[in-house]
Amino acid sequence: LPHSPDEAHVVVIPVPFEATTSYGGGTSNGPAALLEASKQVDLFDVETGRPYERGIAMLEAPAELHMWNERAKERALLVIEAGGIESGDAELLSAATDVNGFSEKLNDHVYRTTKHWLEHGKRVAAVGGDHAISFGIIQAHAEKYPGMGVLHLDAHADLRVAYEGFTWSHASIFYNVCERIPGVKTLVQVGLRDMSENEHRYIEDSGGRIHAFYDAVLQQNRFDGLPWNQQVKQIVDKLPQQVYLSFDIDGLDPVLCPNTGTPVPGGLSFPEATALVAGVVRSGRTIVGFDLTEVAPDPEGSEWDANVGARLLYKMIGWMLKSQKA
């Protein structure tokens, strides 16, 4: 597309960072793969019209982000291979501290970049990278839209406390959001099917701030004949007027994202996921921003993961623009 970031209405921040990835890797290549795959996405969308006419531009990822990612991954590997820092080994503790330091730099970069473009009247999205990259962009949006809700599509709850010793682990993103960003009023999680007992307890003890729609329950409702549009209404009814979307690609059926880092059987189909986004807008709510994470291209060369991710990205942009009057 021909628009510069200054000309575009939607600015996309690439965040090639996956320091704390604890299973499969490759998500740091996600932003570049999404950009390449986007060339195969038809610009006219039957549901949202012509999102491209408003202008969409992806920023360049600074070289230092790639450097932080490589150095943090090297240090994180020591901890991951040891299964965490529980042993108290000084070298492991030092490595975890280093990783946390790089993650804090990353958070600050994403936060400042998001804040800059929001102040210039743009709608801002981020693409990862692992799910840990979402903290800075959620923080900036919560400052601009206090009381907003987060709609979180994921196979995992991501409510672990400093998983494996990493404060900013991808498995801890929404624990950090809930504990550190008071501007987020409500967290609505959809598609959860792999979580710890402590995470489940954290949801139960949240006093209604977190609403979980577990995949097993969604599927059982379907088996019992409850249409998806009615389930979407139940989900959307838990959200406030202003909504931020945080979508981990592994919330989808892994047939659609086989190379993501932590695939889990089950999940939403592509039409179900996009109908959920559409349901937010059709309810009269406003999508203020979003992120898409954990897209990992096939190391063998298939573009399937990036193709699905790019199409989800364009749908999210389209519905975000459709939800806004200006």
Q: How confident is the model at residue 293 (pLDDT cuts 50, 70, 90)?
A: very high
Within 205-269, where are the H helices? 215-223, 228-236
Mean pLDDT of 154-158: 98
pLDDT of residue 326: 46
Residue at 146 is within a domain:
yes
Is residue 119's pLDDT more than 60?
yes
Single out the residue of 150, 106, 119 nearest to residue 290, CA to CA: 150
Residue at 1 is within a domain:
no
Which residues, 6+ apart, have CB-to-CB distance to 306 below 8 Å? 30, 33, 34, 36, 37, 295, 297
Is residue 20's pLDDT more than 50?
yes
Residue at 86 is within a domain:
yes
- The pair of three-digit structure tokens given for residue 240, joined into one six-digit string: 């406030």
Amino acid (1-letter code) at residue 313: L
Q: Find the helix packing angle between 270-282 and 228-236, rounded to 10°.
A: 50
Q: Which residues are annotated as a binding site for Mn(2+)?
A: 131, 154, 156, 158, 248, 250
Using an 8 Å Cβ cutoff, are 277 and 319 in contact?
Answer: yes
Residue at 113 is within a domain:
yes
d(CA 74, CA 38): 31
> The domain that contains 290 carries what CATH number?
3.40.800.10
Residue at 216 is within a domain:
yes
Residue at 3 is within a domain:
no
Q: How confident is the model at residue 256 (pLDDT cuts 50, 70, 90)?
A: very high
Residue at 4 is within a domain:
no
pLDDT of residue 191: 98
HSE-CB for 250 with a 13 A CA cutoff: 26
For residue 167, the enclosing domain spans: 10-323
d(CA 171, CA 272): 24
Order of strands, sheet of 148-153, starting from the edge strand that comes earlier in the sequence: 56-58, 10-15, 123-128, 286-293, 242-248, 148-153, 184-192, 210-214
Residue at 285 is within a domain:
yes
The residues facing 190 across adjacent strands are 153, 213
Q: Provide the domain count of the chain.
A: 1
Is residue 193's pLDDT more than 80?
yes
- 85, burial (CB in 10 Å: exposed 0-12, middle 13-18, buried 19+): buried
pTM tops 0.85, yes or no = yes
Q: Which residues are annotated as a binding site?
A: 131, 154, 156, 158, 248, 250
